Structure 1
Amino acid sequence: MHFSSLPYKTKQFFFVLIKLSIVVGAFYFIYQKLLKNEDLDFYQFLEVLSKNDAFSPKNVTFLLFLTFLNWFFEILKWKTLVAYIRKISFKNALEQSLGALTASLFTPNRIGEYGAKAIYFKSSKRKQVMLLNLISNMMQMSVTVILGLIGLGFMRIVYDLNINYFKASRFLVLVLLIGLFALIGLKQNKYKIKGFAIDRLKTFLKKLPKRIHFIAFGLSFLRYAVFSFQFYFLLLLFGIELSYYNAMIVITSMYLLSSVIPSIFIFDVIIKGSVAVYLFSIIGVNEFTSLSVVTIMWLLNFVLPSVFGSYYVLNFNFPKDDDS
């Protein structure tokens, strides 16, 4: 039996059930991560926060403002990109971005975000929407890679890391081989990124106006600047005396290393926590502080927005041409 052949009320029931399942699933995974985290005791974490005078209403308000700014730039970037196929309001971009965040919270590598954003549009536009979302993520990743490589370079110089050059050379050879196969793939035009053929992605990128490229990349950089500063501000609140320059060396390196590791998005905090513990231990920051900062960043920038996104998920309706 096809879904389209079901009675209207039955389809509506299943539709509501799916939306509820998404929201309940997202909150269940959040609950699991917070209360059943083997690396960080949540109750100890809350106790430290309550006793830390640095987390005053003024500082908390500033942290929330940075969260707002972070997502403001992300939503504005999505509004800018999607204007290529259809102009939408900032409110629509907000709904699509936060709703997609909630829907993709527990999917591998945020893959659910592609479909979640696409269903806000008519079926004829959905492939283009998914390509635009891919471009948005590629731009953010490009900023992370560029600044992360610079950070790693400076970290090697400033902190005189004890690097095993034999292992490093093997890793470099592996990277070069991957790069070689990637170039071959680009020439063959038969390989895919996130399910999209390389040649189609290249054609779409060429058609996208340079003005949109420039603005979207600029917004990606601004967003990175905001959440990386937020991370540094949290380090200060925990009493870590570190200059902005030295902190950014480690922060940019952390985001690069944690971004290249595939994961289920809900466990993103675990990966960033593990990388942060290792890198910040090099400069003398204890494990509890590193994990606490990463957890607060996750709460502010993913959990909190997903709470608002759950409202949009529950109130979602298909575009008129897809009602059936």
Structure 2
Amino acid sequence: MSIVVGAFYFIYNKLTSNQEMDFKVFWDFLSKNNAFSIKNVIFLMLLSILNWFFEIIKWQHLVSYIHKISFCNSLEQSLGSLTASLFTPNRVGEYGVKAMYFKLSESKKIVAMNLLNNSLQMAVTTLLGVAGLSLFVLRYPLDISYYKVFKFGVVLLIIVLFPIIGLAKTKFSIKGISFQTARAFYSKIPKALYVKGFLFSLIRYMVFSFQFYFLLTLFGVKLSYFDSMVIITSMYFLASIIPVISIFDVVLKGSVAIFLFSITGVGNIIILSTILLMWFFNVALPSLTGAVFVLKFKLPQKTVCL
């Protein structure tokens, strides 16, 4: 119950006490633009439903390697874990919540499979983000020292790779799961499962990135779809590599987006409005739906799909 109350409070607080933009300014801007006809709102809702639909079937598909579940089960686990993980950095709370839906003997495998689920989505974000950021740097002059950026990248790569190489050669384990055990587990998963999971992640990415572009057009931004995607993919990539609690994700994306879009002359209020609406449609509303599942969740009762 406390999770649900906390979720409602943070969503309300984010919408009414946004430090990045006064709520009254935001509402006046929406009213002034008159962009939200019933048709546009329905279309935005459909895009959000599609976004989560592909996340739900992706989880259903991946977890079937361990335990087959229905679409209804996957819906409850995906949205319920979203609600419960609002207060954790990079939604790490999602791992424990999803594991609670399964037998204790399967919990480690479920955690490993959820890591794969998120890694596939991150792989799409990284691949498209690196491509987008490369194009962005080529198209728009930036007053930065590329030599310093290169040095920082090399140091960061060393910091990341050394622990991975070290873990691969030791018997270090997290909650009883060693690097060798995890590698053996992932190597047994059929390649078709990886391919389908990656495709679902890619489709989902294309849906919510198009939703972002559609919102920009509603606010009168004249950038082409290609130019917008160069910036949008860069924004999601840069925002994804910085650990942040989910409820503050809108602030981080807003800051990154303002920096990137300002170079093309797009106003701050347009970007902040777009970011806040993306958060509302794709995080706030699904979280409120997930609160219903959190309230009715009981251990060790199984989910019944009616």
TMscore range, shorter length:
over 0.9
Matched, 1:300 2:281: yes
Computed over aligned residues only, the root mean square deviation of the Cα atoms, in angstroms, reads 1.7
CA 1:320 to 1:216, structure 2 compared with 1: closer, same or farther past 3 Å? same
Question: 1:268-308, CA deviations, whole angstroms, 9 ceiling, x for partnerless residues?
Answer: 11110110111111111111111110100000000000111
Matched, 1:138 2:110: no
3-state DSSP of counterpart to 1:110: coil
Task: Give the drift of 1:52.
Answer: 2.0
What is residue 79 of structure 1 aligned with on the other side?
Answer: 60
In structure 1, what residue type is equivalent to 2:46? F
Q: Match for 2:154 among 147, 150, 173?
A: 173
CA 1:118 to 1:180, structure 2 compared with 1: closer, same or farther past 3 Å? closer
What is residue 106 of structure 1 aligned with on the other side?
Answer: 87
In structure 2, what residue type is equivalent to 1:133? N
d(CA) in 1 for partners of 2:301, 2:51:
32
d(CA) in 2 for partners of 1:155, 1:194:
42
Matched, 1:317 2:298: yes
Q: Match for 2:7 among 15, 26, 29?
A: 26
Q: Match for 1:217 among 193, 198, 203?
A: 198
Higher Cα radius of gyration: 1
Task: Give the drift of 1:163.
Answer: 2.7
Q: Match for 1:49 among 30, 36, 49?
A: 30
Question: 1:52-108, CA deviations, whole angstroms, 9 ceiling, x for partnerless residues?
Answer: 222111111111110000000000000001101111110110011000000111112
Q: Match for 2:109 among 121, 128, 142?
A: 128
Task: Give the drift of 1:191.
Answer: 5.6
How many residues of Structure 1 are paired with residues of Structure 2 in the alignment?
Answer: 302
In structure 2, what residue type is equivalent to 1:63? L
When structure 1 is superposed on structure 2, of 27-36 and 247-256 the one drifting more is 27-36
What is residue 256 of structure 2 aligned with on the other side?
Answer: 275
CA 1:143 to 1:190, structure 2 compared with 1: closer, same or farther past 3 Å? farther
Structure 2 length-normalised TM: 0.94
The within-5 A match list for 1:6-25 is 20-25=1-6
In structure 2, what residue type is equivalent to 1:129? I
What is residue 224 of structure 2 aligned with on the other side?
Answer: 243
What is residue 49 of structure 2 aligned with on the other side?
Answer: 68
Matched, 1:266 2:247: yes
Task: Give the drift of 1:117.
Answer: 0.6
The within-5 A match list for 1:198-237 is 198-237=179-218
CA 1:177 to 1:275, structure 2 compared with 1: closer, same or farther past 3 Å? same
Structure 1 length-normalised TM: 0.89
3-state DSSP of counterpart to 1:253: helix
In 2, are the aligned partners of 1:103 and 1:116 still within 8 Å (CA)?
yes
d(CA) in 2 for partners of 1:192, 1:76:
31
In structure 2, what residue type is equivalent to 1:205? Y
The within-5 A match list for 1:142-161 is 142-161=123-142
CA 1:131 to 1:70, structure 2 compared with 1: closer, same or farther past 3 Å? same
Matched, 1:253 2:237: no
CA 1:249 to 1:311, structure 2 compared with 1: closer, same or farther past 3 Å? same
In 2, are the aligned partners of 1:104 and 1:111 still within 8 Å (CA)?
yes
CA 1:27 to 1:195, structure 2 compared with 1: closer, same or farther past 3 Å? farther
d(CA) in 2 for partners of 1:244, 1:309:
32
d(CA) in 1 for partners of 2:215, 2:88:
28
Task: Give the drift of 1:37.
Answer: 1.6
d(CA) in 2 for partners of 1:156, 1:193:
39
CA 1:183 to 1:120, structure 2 compared with 1: closer, same or farther past 3 Å? closer
- Percent identity at matched positions? 55
Runs of 4+ displaced beyond 6 Å: 192-195
In 2, are the aligned partners of 1:155 and 1:161 still within 8 Å (CA)?
no
d(CA) in 2 for partners of 1:195, 1:38:
42
Task: Give the drift of 1:179.
Answer: 4.4
CA 1:311 to 1:176, structure 2 compared with 1: closer, same or farther past 3 Å? closer
What is residue 163 of structure 1 aligned with on the other side?
Answer: 144
